[in-house]
A and B are shown apart, each in its own frame.
Chain A
Amino acid sequence: MKVSPSIKAFDPAAPASASVPGSSRKKPSRLMAGLRKWRGFLLAVVLPTALAATYFYAIAAGQFASEARFLVRGSSGGGGALGGALGAALGGAGFKPVQEEAMAVRDFLRSQDAVRAVRQSVDLVSIWRRPEADLPAMLWTDEPSVETLTRYYRRMVTAEYDSESGTVAVQARSFRPEDSRLLAEALLVASENLVNQLSERQREDTLGTARREVEIAESRVLAAREALTTFRQEGRAIDPARESAANVASVSALEGALTQTRAELQEKGAYMRADNPQIQLLRNRISALERQIVAERERLTTGEHAVPQQLANYERLMLEREFADRQLVSAAASLESARVDAARQQLYVARITQPQLSESPQYPKAAFTVGSVFVVLAVVYGIASLILAGFREHAA
């Protein structure tokens, strides 16, 4: 390279810049030679950096950010994630199984669904096409498809989950501070809706089974009572147990009367003649009592309405009723505890910082961007020039 520039090129330049009074130390020919020598660097690194600097410092419209932070609260863990101070800087998102809901909200905020949800209340397209917006940073089309809008949205809206504090930070950028606040507020409302929906769903799931259990127990109780009533109506018995006790008592009363009557007959037969009408009377009474006892026994032990049968049916029905009652009681208790659980698992968004109106534009980060453009280009230029020098070496 040192030999390549010709001497002739410097000559016309020498008197021209020698007349310039400002250039004090360097000879003009040296300046031109320097420019020529470094022209690759100037073209590939300095020029793009200068362009970037012009854009960022002179042309780019300021973007105002509005940030909100919130916690997703619920019983499923208070976000006690460990460590991760270097956090999202390196590995992207620090995944933690705790606080799934907060992660879900973050994923929602990055999704197309969020765009659709926010679009219902905020006119995203006109917000990002304000007249003061500069061309490279604004939304390019007037009627973007949802996909285009989502791509742009992901540039302007960031949602981060901080695993250490368990908070979700959502940041919205636009070209006016009030727009940004509006957008951040809309995003917060959308996340609140999502969390409420999740919570409602969870509540339904928890309570649904308990409610169904209670319903089953209730119908069982009703059926048991119904069956008991039918039994009583059909058997014409209110309480077969007590009734049969009464029947047995009446039979034994009849037997007592029979024994007494027999004794009386014995006694009277000792001093009365057999054809005495009193004796006849007693005999008649005895035979009547005997028939009555046989009939009663018959009635108690055989046939459709026999007492053992009746009693067995009755006791089965009573047992069924008792079980049904117990089931109802336990189902009601578990419903109650499910209700308590659901109340405890209730999710809600707890706002930590409200979206604010920013007073000065925070984006684009001019110095950082220009600096990194310069560093990247310089490194790439260095590698490229070394590789090219290698080629040249081989060609020589």
Chain B
Amino acid sequence: MSAAGTVPEPPSRRERSHWLIEGIATQGRVIGALIMREMQTRFGRHNLGFLWMFFEPLFLGCMVGLMHTAHGRQLPGGVNPFLFSIVGYVPFFMFRSIVNRAGSALHSNLTLLFHRQVTPVDVMIARNLLEAAAVIGVIVIIVSGAAWFFEIVPANVAQILFALILMCLLCHGLSMMLAAATSRWEGLDRLIHPITYLMMPLSGAFYALHWFPSHLRELLLWNPLVSLHEAIREGMFGDRFPSYYDIPYVVWWILGTNLLGLAALRTARRKLNIF
């Protein structure tokens, strides 16, 4: 910020409104531009282009769902195993892709960060919005497909959406922390992948807590992802089987990670600007 003070005033092209509105508008434009850029660098302009964004989680989710269906185990409450695993896997896919990409986010946008108005937070928001939009879109496709073709109507759509948004926020906070940390310690990026991979059995994506004895349940609930997956499942299947989650605990996680992430990115930017 001290740097901002020394920069000479840009020529005023138009009437300037309050700095807050100005700032929000500029940040919105920056994020919008970053999203466009991100889509083009990642998916290109030809063929299906950004539709790939939806296909990737959809395809993976369907494959995982089919595998579980072919496995043919019976789920309690007469829940459709395909839907069960897809509703668990797709949100986890979002977590994994957001967190996995966090390490390289700043590095791949390093050139852009030399522009004064592009901040690391903008980069993270743009990337994470893209991922979140893809996953929420896929969930909408799957849920409406299930309702349309198989007449499996979700019990509480608002709850699914709410839990998904909470998950986005949590992943956003985590990704900001990780991005800042990787810019400081390069080697951390190598650790993120195995850790997210190991998180898979711990995140409650493929099982309901109801299947476990209560002491294991309590241990697993320390992981906020488990609560979110349970909440999504309850929104999908209602009370076919009991769900266990603790939203206030998740909100604490979101607040904590976002605060730390925002603060860490600010300090990280100073380091980035030096070289």
Contacts of A84 in B (CB 8 A): 214-215, 217-218
Q: List 23 A-B contacts (CB under 8 A).
A: A1-B1, A83-B215, A83-B218, A85-B218, A86-B218, A90-B246, A91-B209, A91-B221, A91-B245, A95-B244, A382-B259, A387-B262, A388-B20, A389-B1, A390-B23, A390-B119, A391-B27, A392-B20, A392-B23, A394-B22, A394-B23, A394-B26, A394-B27
A89's nearest neighbour on chain B, judged by CB, is B218
Contacts of A391 in B (CB 8 A): 19-20, 23-24, 27
Given A90-B221, A91-B217, A91-B244, residue A386 in contact with residue B1 (CB < 8 A)? no
Q: Chain B, 1-18, contact with A by CB distance < 8 Å: what is the 0/1 string?
A: 110110100000000000
Taking the complex as formed, is B197 at the interface, i.e. its CB lies under 8 A from any CB of chain A?
Answer: no
Chain B residue numbers with a CB within 8 Å of A2 are 1-2, 5
**A376: shortest Cβ distance to chain B, in Å?**
8
**Chain A residues with CB under 8 A of B26:** 394-395
Q: Which of B215, B245, B266 contacts A386 (CB 8 A)?
A: B266
CA A382 – CA B258 in complex, angstroms? 10
The total of chain A residues at the interface (CB under 8 A) is 33
Q: Which of A1, A90, A392, A394 contacts B218 (CB 8 A)?
A: A90
Given that A83-B214, A91-B217, A383-B262 are contacting pairs, would A393 and B5 also be in contact in the complex, using a CB cutoff of 8 Å?
A: no
Instruction: Report how far A36 CA is from B243 CA in the complex, Å.
Output: 49
Q: Inside 8 A of A83's CB, which chain B residues have their CB?
A: 213-215, 218
The interface residues of chain B lying within 8 Å CB-to-CB of A58 are: none
The answer on a CB contact under 8 Å between A393 and B23 is yes
The residue among A95, A376, A393 with the most chain B CB atoms within 10 A of its own CB is A393
Asked if A3 is an interface residue, CB under 8 A from chain B, the answer is: yes
In the assembled complex, the Cα of A61 lies from the Cα of B20 at a distance in Å of 43
How many whole Å from B91's CB to the nearest CB in chain A?
19
Q: Which residues in A have their C-beta under 8 angstroms from that of B246?
A: 90-92
Confirm or deny: B138 has a beta carbon within 8 angstroms of a beta carbon on chain A.
no
Question: Are A92 and B1 in touch, CB under 8 angstroms?
Answer: no
Contact B244 A396 (CB under 8 A): no
Of B7, B19, B222, B245, the residue contacting A395 (CB under 8 A) is B19
B-side interface size class: 35 or more
**B106, CB-defined interface residue at 8 Å:** no
Q: Taking chain B's interface residues, is the majority helix, strand, or loop, or is none over half, making it mixed?
A: helix
- The contact string, 1 if C-beta is below 8 Å from chain A, for chain B 209-240, is 11001110111011000000000000000000
Interface residue? A81 (CB, 8 A): yes
Taking the complex as formed, is B30 at the interface, i.e. its CB lies under 8 A from any CB of chain A? yes
**Which residue from A82, A85, A92, A386 sits with its C-beta under 8 Å from B259?**
A386
Shortest beta-carbon contacts, A-B, top 10: A391-B23, A83-B215, A395-B23, A386-B262, A91-B244, A394-B26, A84-B214, A86-B218, A395-B22, A395-B19
Give the distance to chain A from B256, nearest Cβ to Cβ, in Å. Answer: 7
State whether the Cβ of A361 lies closer than 8 Å to any Cβ in chain B. no
Report Cα–Cα, A3/B222, bound state, in Å. 44
Q: A1, A81, A383: which contacts B258 (Cβ < 8 A)?
A: A383
| Interchain CB contact under 8 A, A393 and B214 | no
B255 to A383, Cβ gap below 8 A?
yes
- Residues of chain A with a CB closer than 8 A to B242's CB: 95
Please indicate the chain A residues that have their CB under 8 angstroms from the CB of B213 in the complex: 82-83
CA distance A161 to B22 in the complex (A): 54
- Contact B214–A96 (Cβ < 8 Å): yes
Which residues on the A side are within 8 Å of B4 (C-beta)?
Answer: 393, 396
Extra contacts, 8 of them, besides A84-B215, A92-B246 (Cβ < 8 A), are: A1-B1, A2-B5, A90-B222, A91-B218, A379-B256, A390-B23, A391-B20, A392-B19
The answer to the question of A352 belonging to the interface, with a C-beta cut-off of 8 Å to chain B, is no
**B 100-126 binary contact with A (CB < 8 Å = 1; else 0):** 000000000000000011010110000
The answer to whether A85 touches B2, judged by C-beta atoms less than 8 angstroms apart, is no
Which one of B19, B217, B221, B259 lies within 8 Å of A379 (CB-CB)? B259
